Structures are given as C-alpha cells and as structure tokens.
Structure 1
Amino acid sequence: MGRQGNSSARGTASGSSSVRKPSAAVYRRRRMVVGGALLLVIALVAGGFALAAAFTGGSQKASSTQPSSTETASNPAASPSAVPTPSASAASATPSPTAPATPTCNQNLVTVSAATDKPAYGPGENPLLTLKVTNGGTVPCEVNIGTSQMEFLVTSGSDRIFSSKDCQASSEDLVKVIAPGASETANFPWSRNRSADGCKAVAAAPGGGGAYYIFTAKLGSRASPKAVFQLN
C-alpha cells in the first residue's frame, strides 16, 4: 500500500508537470519580447521609408538642376546646344554696304572766257582771239569743244562785225574730258574783216582810228564775259 501511495504521488507529480500552464509572469515576459520585436520592426520599416524619402528627395533635387537626356531632348531650351546660332544663309542675307555713287559733273561749273593777246592794235596788226573753257568743279567733266560748238564773235555796239561761224568750212565735234580746275583753249587770228551769215561777201571793213570792239567767246549755249580791245 505504501508503494502504491508513492506511485500515486509520483504519478500525480508527473502528471501535473506535464499539463502545467505557464504562469502569468511568463506571459508578461513573452508579451514584452514580442512587443519589443514588433517595435524594432516598425522602427526599421519607418527608418527605411525615411531613408527612401531622403534618397528620393535628393534624386529629385539633382534632376531639377541637372536635366536628364530625355528631358533635354523634349525641352530644347534646357540644352546649351539648342541655342540658335547665325547660319551662313542668315549672314549672307544681311545687306552689304553699298559703294558710294560716283559724283557726276556739274556742267554749270564749266565756264567760258574770252581774251585777246593785246589790249590795243596798231594799223596792220591782227588780233589773236582766245576762247578758254575751264572746269570749275571738283570732278572731271566731258565737254564738246569742237568747231560745232565754238563761236568767235566781234561786235561794236549793236553792229555785228564778225562771226567765225559765217564762213566756217567744217563743223566738227570734239569731246574732251577736262579735269577739275583745268582748261582747254582755242585761238583764232582775226583778219580785221567783216563777215555775214552764209559767208556773203561784204565790201566794208571795220574802222580803225582808236575804235573799241568787243570780243565774245561762245561754246554752245555758254557765253563769256566781254573782252574789250582797241583797233588803231
């Protein structure tokens, strides 16, 4: 009986150890461990999001200051190479400065003057009449100084004494370029005779005795000032 009691006692003890539930203290420790592990996981997850956000923000900042190749292609203004440069055709379209026009001769500055080789002539002396054409401008001028344009005219008051055109054998043009300030001259020795239009014969001769005569040189529509001389 004593053995049975001991067996029962051992059996009871063994049975109670196999079905014994953890105590309240054990449950609290387990909950603390699980709670700490969960907090650690949450902290790691939150930290991961923070790091991810930090890298994402840095990446966005970098991309905002340094456009990618895709953004550069879609936005030409973001690329320095997209700045337009003048092309050869644009440069050639720019009008070049025009050369200054060559100044033209002012024919109003071409003048005619008359002169005689002496102021007075004695009996038997023939006056030498000189027609002078001068370019008073600053550029060369073409002037017709041919016999078709010239006339040596001698008058005395209202009396027309002589004209070189009355008996002119030929009428020719002679165009010459007269430099600025230069002159061309033509001389005509006058025989102290009268003439008439169409080279008609004139019996009378101009008088001497100290009479004054006027020589006027003409070239086309130009006429010289009067040159006065005396025949004795």
Structure 2
Amino acid sequence: MTDTPPRRRHSPAVYRRRRLALLLVVLLIIAAVVLAFWRPWEGGASDGPAQPASSDAAASPSSSPSDAGGDAPEPSTSASEPSQDAAAEEVEACSARSVQVSAVTDKDSYGAGELPQLSISLTNAGAEACLLNVGTATQKLTVSSGPDVWWRSTDCQSESSDQVVQIDPGQTVSSVTPITWDRTRSSVDSCDGERPAAPAGYFNLAVEIGGLAAQQERQFVLR
C-alpha cells in the first residue's frame, strides 16, 4: 500500500493576501452602498439662484452669542451681517425733524459780470442715519427779489436724475457742482431765447431737496 503524501500547507503570506483581498471586496461593497444613499450635494449650494427665505424665516431674529458652539445655523436674510439692500431697508427716510436744509451761495455780494454759484447743504442733526433722494429730480432752487420770482432751476431743466444717499448723524453734505445763475429772468417759454437781465439789488435764494425745504432763505447782492 502506497502512503499518501502529506498536503502541502501554504505559506503565511498567501493567507495574508487572501484576507486582504476579501477585506478589499467588503470595503468596495460598503462604499457602493454609502454612495447610493449619501448625496451631500442635495440641499447645498447650486449654480442657480438661491431660494428666497420665507416670511417667517425673515422675521425671526438672528442667533444670540450664547448659541455659539452649537451647530452652525442656516443662512437667512436675518443674519447679523445683512446684505446692502437689507441694510438700506432698515434706515429710515430723512425728515425735517432730523435734517437741516440750507441755501448756499459762494459769495455775499457779486460785482458786475460775476455769476452767483448756488448750492444746497444738508446736515443730519438727529441721532440716527437716514436716507434722502438728493438727485436733480428732487431739487428746486428759486431766486427772488421780494415777491418777484426771477429764476427757478426747474424752468429750463433738460434732464433729471435720482440719487439716494445715506446721511449719518452729525454729517454735513453739500452739492458737488453748484448751479450757476446767469443773472437773467427764467421762463419755460424763453429757455432758448433772450431773457431780461436782473438789475442790481438784493436777492434771496430758496431751496428744496428730497421733499425738504430750507427754513431760511439766503440773501445776496448783485452790484
């Protein structure tokens, strides 16, 4: 009877390779399952426009400092750093109670041939910042001599524009480019024609801007 030769045992390295191969197959199966159900891009940022917050979310206050350390809150329009549009909505319109309007001329007296430079000054005397439309569409400058109105900036105005600015508490702003009065009588019917020249004497400048009027007129003299 022939003896059966003993079975040859594999080396430990072979068993280690088999175990590694089996572990790799298991890891691949687990990864496939995770990728099938875990979709981190859903509900996150996208290339399209962000959905607007609901009215309830917009009205809710932002998290207080005591909430720090927990999960990060979802961004909303009520965040502590609002957008420029949201910040502008929180600033109220200027009123006569807070903003002082002043009529300004570059001189008190003008010699023959000198043209007065007329402008407007605004000072926020209130405790809060406010918004005001200072565009040419809201400006009106009027020159008169007693009850006789000589000139209006709106009589021959060809173009107008709007410009809303924020005036901070204690801040004073003035017209960047003054309006030149040519010392003639204005009229909507004579913008392109000859107009009577103003005589020597005392004149007053009254101004309005953004629905606010100066409480006092500015007096100047033509020589």
Q: Which residue of 2 aligns with 1:218?
A: 208
How many correspondences in the alignment? 133
Instruction: Please state if 1:189 is matched with 2:180.
Output: yes
Tell me: CA distance 1:198–1:148, structure 2 relative to 1, closer, same or farther (3 Å): farther
What pairs up with 1:134-149 in 2 under 5 angstroms?
Answer: 134-149=123-138
How many Å apart are 1:111 and its aligned residue? Answer: 2.0
Q: Which residue of 2 aligns with 1:169?
A: 158
Contact 1:112–1:134 (Cα < 8 Å) also in 2: yes
Calculate the TM-score normalised by the size of structure 2: 0.54
Q: Which residue of 1 aligns with 2:198?
A: 206
Contact 2:186–2:195 (Cα < 8 Å) also in 1: no
Q: Which residue of 2 aligns with 1:3?
A: none
Residues of 1 paired with 2:206 and 2:127: CA distance? 26
Q: Which residue of 2 aligns with 1:22?
A: none
Instruction: Please state if 1:107 is matched with 2:107.
Output: no
How many Å apart are 1:136 and its aligned residue? Answer: 1.5
How many Å apart are 1:105 and its aligned residue? Answer: 5.6
Query: What secondary structure does 2:131 align onto?
Result: strand
Contact 1:126–1:192 (Cα < 8 Å) also in 2: yes
Tell me: CA distance 1:199–1:222, structure 2 relative to 1, closer, same or farther (3 Å): farther
Instruction: Please state if 1:128 is matched with 2:117.
Output: yes
Query: What secondary structure does 1:148 align onto?
Result: helix
What pairs up with 1:1-232 in 2 under 5 angstroms?
Answer: 104=92, 107-108=95-96, 109-186=98-175, 187-197=178-188, 200=191, 201=193, 203-208=195-200, 211-224=201-214, 225-232=216-223
How many Å apart are 1:203 and its aligned residue? Answer: 3.1
How many Å apart are 1:119 and its aligned residue? Answer: 0.8
How many Å apart are 1:220 and its aligned residue? Answer: 3.7
Q: What whole-Å deviation, never above 9, does each CA across 1:18-74 have from its counterpart, x for those lacking one?
A: xxxxxxxxxxxxxxxxxxxxxxxxxxxxxxxxxxxxxxxxxxxxxxxxxxxxxxxxx
2:174 is matched by which residue type in structure 1?
A: T
How many Å apart are 1:206 and its aligned residue? Answer: 0.8
Give RMSD over aligned pairs.
Answer: 2.4
Contact 2:184–2:195 (Cα < 8 Å) also in 1: no
1:194 is matched by which residue type in structure 2?
A: R
2:142 is matched by which residue type in structure 1?
A: L
How many Å apart are 1:104 and its aligned residue? Answer: 4.6
Q: 1 or 2, which has the higher helix percentage?
A: 1
Residues of 2 paired with 1:150 and 1:103: CA distance? 22
1:195 is matched by which residue type in structure 2?
A: S
Gaps of 5+ in 1: 1-95
Residues of 2 paired with 1:126 and 1:217: CA distance? 18
